[in-house]
Amino acid sequence: MGSSLLTNSSAMTALQTLRNVSAQLATTQNRISTGQRVSTASDNAAYWSIATSMRSDNAALSAVSDSLGLSAATVDTEYTALTSVIGDKDSGLTKLQALLVEAKTAGIDRTKIQADITQIQQDMKLKANSATFNGINWLSTTTGTTPTTFSLVSSYSRVGGTPTIGSITVTTANYSLYTSTQTGILDTAGSTAPSINTMSISALTDSAVDQTTLDGYIAQVTAGINSVASAAANLGAVKNRIATNTEFVKTLMDSVDRGIGQLVDADMNAESTRLQALQTQQQLGVQALSIANQNSQSILSLFR
């Protein structure tokens, strides 16, 4: 093949090869610097789109995790107050029941017992009023102001383009101990007796009628203990569900992160090996181009 002064085919081939190697080298360097083999839509439109959607899902799951944390704190506050209202042998409804049984003893000073009962009644009311977290109180409510139900966000999922938000619904009336209309567990009056919050034994005597009244008070407090215990058990179940969902959401977020990584993350071992190979090819390409350019200079020797 003859030599041409106007067209250096060898140099053109070497230059084209060098350009290709340089482009591959730029791609590899970008993957190493970003840690991703798909960092923009132009790298792989399908994978980039999927990864972007999954990152959006993870952001939503992060919001769900935060919401679950807030819900857990709220439920824990209400649960703690409920169990405190139930009390033990020294406090709460349990102590109140014991005092009423003690009041059935003939000749006992019921005025002194009432002093203890009054303190317990005030203490239970204080605990219910104090069970407030982030402005929410399910134990001491105001009709018309406190929502009848609360939805605690518990999950997020997306099928295609349709997102679904899961929630745990809490009915306030199931936990209300005191209400503005006196319809709570502890401030609702019985058919023949005052509410647990207002009952008094100071004026009762050893008469058969008053002894029957005391029996009614004891039965009323026993029913109150059962109702508050049922409310506490219900909240305990809600607590467990929130804890389970919280752990699941965290695990799911980790799973989504791994999925995104499998789609777009670069294999750094492979990329570092490729970088060394491309750098070597680039150096050889520069030498090949230099040799091709030198071939043109040999034409000058023909004219000497």
280 with 139, same domain: the answer is: no
Measured from the Cβ of residue 107, the count of other Cβ atoms closer than 10 Å reads 7
67 with 191, same domain: the answer is: yes
Q: Are 185 and 231 in contact (CB under 8 A)?
A: yes
Strand-pairing partners, residue 88, are 91
Identify the pLDDT of residue 191. 72
Place of tokens 């050893």: 206
H or E element that contains 158 = strand 149-159
According to the 3-state scheme, what is the secondary structure of the chain? CCCCCCCCHHHHHHHHHHHHHHHHHHHHHHHHHHCECCCCCCCCHHHHHHHHHHHHHHHHHHHHHHHHHHHHHHHHHHHHHHHHHHCECCEHHHHHHHHHHHCCCCCCCHHHHHHHHHHHHHHHHHHHHHCCECCECCCEECCCCCCCEEEEEEEEEEECCEEEEEEEEEEHHHCCCEECCCCCCCCCCCCCCCCCCCCCCCCCCCCHHHHHHHHHHHHHHHHHHHHHHHHHHHHHHHHHHHHHHHHHHHHHHHHHHHHHHHHHECCHHHHHHHHHHHHHHHHHHHHHHHHHHHHHHHHHHHHC
258 with 278, same domain: the answer is: no
CATH number at residue 248: 1.20.1330.10
88 with 173, same domain: the answer is: yes
Is there a domain that residue 23 lies in? Answer: no
Identify the pLDDT of residue 9. 77
Is there a domain that residue 1 lies in? Answer: no
Q: Which residues of the chain have pLDDT under 70?
A: 1-8, 295-304
Identify the pLDDT of residue 303. 63
Identify the pLDDT of residue 213. 93
Range of the domain at 104: 45-264
The bridge status of strand 162-171 relative to strand 149-159 is antiparallel
**Could you tell me the pTM of the whole model?**
0.79
Q: Which of 29, 35, 12 is nearest to 279 (CA)?
A: 29
Is there a domain that residue 304 lies in? Answer: no
Is there a domain that residue 14 lies in? Answer: no
165 with 184, same domain: the answer is: yes
Beta strands in 79-125 (DSSP E): none
197 with 128, same domain: the answer is: yes
144 with 273, same domain: the answer is: no
83 with 211, same domain: the answer is: yes
Identify the pLDDT of residue 22. 87
Q: Which of 90, 59, 91, 76 is nearest to 138 (CA)?
A: 76
Return phi, psi of residue 162, to 5°.
Answer: -110, 110
91 with 112, same domain: the answer is: yes
233 with 86, same domain: the answer is: yes
Place of tokens 């607590």: 239
Return phi, psi of residue 145, to 5°.
Answer: -110, -45
123 with 239, same domain: the answer is: yes
247 with 274, same domain: the answer is: no
Please tell me the total count of domains within the chain: 2
Structure tokens at 62: 């992060």
Is there a domain that residue 184 lies in? Answer: yes
* Burial classification of residue 138, based on how many CB atoms lie within 10 Å of its CB (0-12 exposed, 13-18 middle, 19 or more buried): buried
* Amino acid identity, position 61: L
Structure tokens at 252: 């799911």
SS3 133: strand
Identify the pLDDT of residue 30. 83
H or E element that contains 164 = strand 162-171
Is there a domain that residue 252 lies in? Answer: yes
Is there a domain that residue 35 lies in? Answer: no
Identify the pLDDT of residue 137. 94
